[in-house]
Amino acid sequence: MATRGPRIQAPWHLPWLFFLCSVTCVLCVSPSKVPRLGVRGPYGARNHDGEVKLQSLASSHQKFRTFYYNQTLDHFNYRPESYKTFQHRYVLSFKHWRGPNTMAPIFVYLGEESSLNDDLGYIGILSDNAARFGALQVYIEHRFYGESIPFVSREEALKDANLRGYFSSAQTLADYAEVILHIKKKYSADSSPVIVFGGSYGGMLAAWFRLKYPHVALGALASSAPVLYFDNITPSNGYYTVVTKDFKESSESCYETIKQSWFEIDKVAAKADGLSILQKKFNTCKPLEAAAELKNFLDSLFSVAAQYDRPPRYPVDLVCKGIDSAPEGSDVLDRIFSGVAAYFGKKPCYNLDAFFSAETLDGWSWQTCSELVIPIGRGSNDTMFPADPFDLKEYIEECKRTFGVPPRPHWITTYYGGHHFKEVLRRFGSNIIFSNGLRDPYSSGGVLENISDGILAVYTTKGAHCMDLLPATVGDPEWVVLQRNIEIEIINGWILKYYQDLLENSI
Amino acid sequence: MATRGPRIQAPWHLPWLFFLCSVTCVLCVSPSKVPRLGVRGPYGARNHDGEVKLQSLASSHQKFRTFYYNQTLDHFNYRPESYKTFQHRYVLSFKHWRGPNTMAPIFVYLGEESSLNDDLGYIGILSDNAARFGALQVYIEHRFYGESIPFVSREEALKDANLRGYFSSAQTLADYAEVILHIKKKYSADSSPVIVFGGSYGGMLAAWFRLKYPHVALGALASSAPVLYFDNITPSNGYYTVVTKDFKESSESCYETIKQSWFEIDKVAAKADGLSILQKKFNTCKPLEAAAELKNFLDSLFSVAAQYDRPPRYPVDLVCKGIDSAPEGSDVLDRIFSGVAAYFGKKPCYNLDAFFSAETLDGWSWQTCSELVIPIGRGSNDTMFPADPFDLKEYIEECKRTFGVPPRPHWITTYYGGHHFKEVLRRFGSNIIFSNGLRDPYSSGGVLENISDGILAVYTTKGAHCMDLLPATVGDPEWVVLQRNIEIEIINGWILKYYQDLLENSI
C-alpha cells in the first residue's frame, strides 16, 4: 500500500508507503484463519527446529519446520560489536524435495517488511510449484521483523539508535546469502540451483540479490518490485496517477466524486463543529482530531483498493459501486462513506488505523527514513487527490526529527543502480523476471520491458500487486494463470540450462 | 609478494602476504626518484584541490590534481557513528580528457594496500592510453592508507579496535562508487563510460567492483588478481609451486641449492654459536634472534624475485646467477648469500626487514586477519621450501591474539563468490579482463581461461605480477606489448559497444 500519513507527532505518521503483498488478506481473512507458525500464542510455541503443521491457503497441506541461524549482526565491518550474532528465523518444507542427489532445486522466499508468519500462507508460488520441480521450500525472515529481532524486543530494538542502525537492506541480503549457503551445506546440496522469490519490497530484494549474489542464486522472480522508484528515476506522481486511472476506468462518476470530496471535507472541517460532523458522517470509532486524519484514511483506502485490485473482490469496483449506488439525495461525503462501508462491510464504527500492523508501520518508518526514500507525491491537477508534492528537504527534516539521523536518499541507486537501468543491464546479468500488474500503482516504478534475453518483464494489464505470488485457486482469471505459467516456464528454462551447463562441463 | 613471516611477537609477523604491484620499484628506484604527490614533505604540501606537477615514470609529464571527498565512514549501517565522514583522497589528471560533451571515457585506478603516492608513477596503463581515448584519469586511494585514514593518525587508527573495524573491502568498494559518482556529477560526465583498473589486491577490487557496481563501471581490468585464492578453491601450495617452478626453470642447480639450504641453516643454527655464524655468513645488519628470521627473509626474497620476475632485471635469473656463480669451494649457504648479494647489490650489511613499508605491513596484517584469508601453504616435498602447511585453526588463533577478533574466512566467497566461478559467471556479468603472467606465483589463484565472451583471461607465460599495468618503455619485450595491446583493444571494444548502444537507444 502507498499512502502518506498525516504529518503529526507519532513516528509512524512520517511519510511512508508499504509494499506488503498480503494486505487484502490481512483485511479479508478473519484472524482465526490467518495462518501462523512457530509463534508464541495459540497457534504454536516458539520452537527451535520444531515442526508445526500449517493449514496453508495454498492447495496443499504443508509441514513447515522452523529453524534459527546464528546470524552475524554486521557483515560489512569488523568492529568488536560486528561479531555479535542473533537468532535468525527461517522455515523449510521438505515435502516435495527430491534431495541433493538429483540436484533438485531450492526455492527461497525472501522475507519483506513483516513477520514471516504473515507470508507462509500467501506465498503460493513456492508450494504450488514445489512438486513439479521436486524443490526444497525455504522462507527466510527479514531482520528486525517477526522473530528475527536482534537481542531485545522489537520495541526496544527500534528505540535503540545504535541497534536499529543495523536494520538495512544490504545487511539483509547478506543475511539471506549466509542462510542459503548454510542450508546448502547442511543438506549437502551444493549443486542444487537456488531460485529466489520476493514481492514488493521483497521483490526488490530478490532482484538485487540475483545482481549482488549471482553465485548464491541462479535466478530471481521479482514480483511488483518498484526498483526504479528511487532518486527521481520515476516521476513522483507515478503512483497516484495509476490509482487515479484505476478509479476512472472503473467509473467516471466515482472518480469525479472522489476528486471533489477533498474540498468538501475541508469545507465541512472549517465549520465550528466540522470535525464532529465528519465523525458522524463517517461513523469513526474515535473522535477526529484533524481533517487530515480522515483524508489520510481515505487516501490509504483508495491506494490499497487500487494496489490490491484483484479477484474475487476487485476492491476498486467495490468502492466505486458503493459510491455510485448511494441513495438518491446523498451528498458527496455521503457517497464517499458509502464507498468506505462497501469496502469494509457494515460495522458498528470505522477504525481509521485499520491498515497494516504496528510492526510493519514501525519497521517501515525506519527503513524509509534511512535508505528507502521513495519519492511519491502528486501535483495540483494530475490525480484525483489534492496536491501534495514530494519535498525531499521536508522529508529529510522529518526523519531527522523522528530518528535523529537523516536518510541517505542516493544510497539505493549508488549500491543497487537504477539510473540507465536498461543500458546498464542490457549486457550484464541474467535470470531475473520483473513481474507486474498494471493496475498496481507501484507498477509505475517497475521494469515493464525486457532488458535482455535474460532479464525479462512479464506483466498483465489487469493484474494487481504481487498477484502472481498468491496461491493458485480455481477461480483465478485466465490471464494470471498464464502469467504464472510463463514465469514458471522461464524459471524451468534457467534450471534446465544450468543442468545442461554442468553436464557439458563434466564431459 | 607472498611470504609467511616468522611466528613471533610483533603483529606484522602474522602470516601475511602482499600483492603490491610496485615492490621491485620500491627496491630498485632510489628514494629521490620515487614520485610523491601532495604529501607533507619535500615533494609538496597537503593541498586541497591543489596542483602538483609530478615527474612520472610514465612517458609523459602529468599535471595531477589532488582532491579530498567527504567519505562516509560506514555505508552499510545507519548507526549514528556510521554518518561520520573522513577526508578521502583522489587524484585527477585532465591532461588528455576530451570532456563530457564527447562522452570521453573515465579511467579509474582503484588503490590497493598502500599510499596512492606509491602508485601514481607506476600505473602506466592509464597515462599511456589516456591520449588515445581522450580519457580523464582518476586515481583513488584505499581507505586506511596514505592520506585517507579516518580522523586520526595511521598508528592510532589501526590501534583502535572500533575504528579499524571499518577497514574492509566492501566499505572500500562503496567508497570508490561514491567518489566516481561524485566526479561524474561534478564534471557533468554522466554519460562518460568508466573503466576501472587495479593490480593484485587492487585487481581483485577492480573485478569485484564491476560485479557489484556494473552501473558505475562499464568494465574492469583486473591485473594479477588471485580472486580464486580463497576458501580452498585453489590448492594452498599453488603459490610456492610457481615460485619453485620459476627457479627450477632458471637453473636446476640453483633450485637444488635452495632446496638444500633450509636444512643447512637449521644445522648451523643448532650449533652453540650457530646464530652468530649465520649472521656473519649473511652479513645481517642486526644480530639474529632465531634461524626463522633468516629463513623468512630468504622465503620473502625468493617469493619477491618470482613474483616480480620481469625485465630488465629478471630477479630470478639474477639470484640464480649469484647462487650458481659463487666461487669454487663455496658451501650451500655461501652460495645462497651470493644470491642475496646479487639481488641487493654489494652493501655494508643486509637488512632482513627490507621488504615493504610499515604502512603496507600494518594495514595488510589487519586485512588478512579480518577477511582476506588467503590460505597459502606447502607440503613436505612439493616445493623447494620446507614444509609449512596452512593451518586455518592456528591462523585464526594468531589473529585473535593479535587483534582480539577472529577472521571470517568464508566471507570473501560469500560476498564476492569464487566457488564454481566459471559456471556462475558463464551466463552472468561482462566486461572483465583477468590478466596474468604465469611466472607470477599469484597466477595460481587467478582466472586463466575465458569464462564467456565478456569475461576474458589474457595471460603471458613469461609475465610477472601486474606487469601490464606498468608504464610502457622502449625495452619492453614483445609479449608484454602484445598483452597490453590486446587488453586495450578489448576495452576499446567495450567503449565502442557502449556508444553504439546509446545511439541505438536514442534512435
Nearest chain B CA: its distance from A80 CA (Å): 7
- For β-strands A85-93 and A62-72, DSSP reports them as antiparallel
- Do residue A80 and residue B431 have CB atoms under 8 angstroms apart? no
Q: What does the H/E/C string look like for A99-112?
A: CHHHCCCEEEEECC
Q: What residues of B are in contact with residue A425 (Cβ under 8 Å)?
A: 214
Rounded Cα–Cα distance for residues A494 and B374 (Å): 33
Beta-carbon contacts of B70 under 8 Å, excluding residues fewer than 6 positions away, are B85, B86, B87, B88
Residue A26 in this model has a pLDDT that exceeds 80: no
Environment class of B250 (CB within 10 Å of its CB; exposed 0-12, middle 13-18, buried 19+): buried
Rounded Cα–Cα distance for residues A35 and A42 (Å): 11
- Do residue A76 and residue B212 have CB atoms under 8 angstroms apart? no
ipTM of this predicted structure: 0.91
- Do residue B431 and residue A427 have CB atoms under 8 angstroms apart? yes
C-alpha cell at A149: 529481532
- Do residue A429 and residue B428 have CB atoms under 8 angstroms apart? yes
Q: Which residue in A366, A168, A82 sits closest to B75, CA to CA?
A: A168
Record the pTM: 0.91
Sheet holding B106-110, edge to edge: B51-54, B62-72, B85-93, B136-140, B106-110, B194-199, B219-223, B432-437, B455-460
B22 flagged as catalytic: no
Give the best residue of B77, B103, B166, B176 to mutate against chain A (max A CB count within 10 A): B77
Of A82, A415, A416, the CB nearest to B165: A82
Count other Cβ atoms within 10 Å, centred on residue B320.
Answer: 26
B75 flagged as catalytic: no
Q: What residues of B are in contact with residue A72 (Cβ under 8 Å)?
A: 408
E-only strand ranges, B216-291: 219-223
The one-digit pLDDT tens for each residue of chain B (507 residues) are 233 332 322 333 333 345 566 543 322 222 222 222 222 222 222 233 333 333 333 434 568 999 999 999 999 999 999 999 999 999 999 999 999 899 999 999 999 999 999 888 889 999 999 999 999 999 999 999 999 999 999 999 999 999 999 999 999 999 999 999 999 999 999 999 999 999 999 999 999 999 999 999 999 999 999 999 999 999 999 999 999 999 999 999 999 999 999 999 999 999 999 999 999 999 999 999 999 999 999 999 999 999 999 999 999 999 999 999 999 999 999 999 999 999 999 999 999 987 778 899 999 999 999 999 999 999 999 999 999 999 999 999 999 999 999 999 999 999 999 999 999 999 999 999 999 999 999 999 999 999 999 999 999 999 999 999 999 999 999 999 999 999 999 999 999 999 999 998 876
**Which chain A residue has the Cα nearest residue B369?**
A78
Rounded Cα–Cα distance for residues A437 and A484 (Å): 12
Long-range contacts of A55-59 (CB under 8 A, 24+ apart): A55/A121, A56/A120, A56/A121, A56/A127, A56/A471, A57/A25, A57/A121, A57/A122, A57/A124, A57/A471, A58/A121, A58/A123, A58/A124, A58/A127, A58/A128, A58/A471, A58/A472, A59/A124, A59/A127, A59/A128, A59/A471, A59/A472
B61 flagged as catalytic: no
Write b or e for each residue in B145-166: b if 16 or more Cβ atoms lie within 10 A of its Cβ, otherwise e: bbbbbbeeebeebbeeeebbbb
- Do residue B371 and residue A431 have CB atoms under 8 angstroms apart? no
Q: Identify the active-site residue in B22, B169, B200, B444.
A: B200
Q: What residues of B are in contact with residue A215 (Cβ under 8 Å)?
A: 413, 416-421, 424
- Helical segments of A380-477, H only: 392-403, 411-416, 421-426
- Do residue A78 and residue B212 have CB atoms under 8 angstroms apart? no
Contact assessment for residue B323 and residue B258, using Cβ atoms and an 8 Å cutoff: yes
Is residue B3 helix, strand or coil?
strand
- Give the A:B interface size as CB pairs under 8 Å: 154
- Do residue A78 and residue B454 have CB atoms under 8 angstroms apart? no
- For β-strands B219-223 and B62-72, DSSP reports them as unpaired
Is residue A442 helix, strand or coil?
helix
- Do residue B425 and residue A214 have CB atoms under 8 angstroms apart? yes
Give the best residue of B72, B79, B432 to mutate against chain A (max A CB count within 10 A): B79
Q: What residues of A are in contact with residue B424 (Cβ under 8 Å)?
A: 214-215
Q: What residues of A are in contact with residue B421 (Cβ under 8 Å)?
A: 215
Nearest chain B CA: its distance from A113 CA (Å): 17
Contact assessment for residue B315 and residue B282, using Cβ atoms and an 8 Å cutoff: no
Of A76, A80, A422, the CB nearest to B76: A76
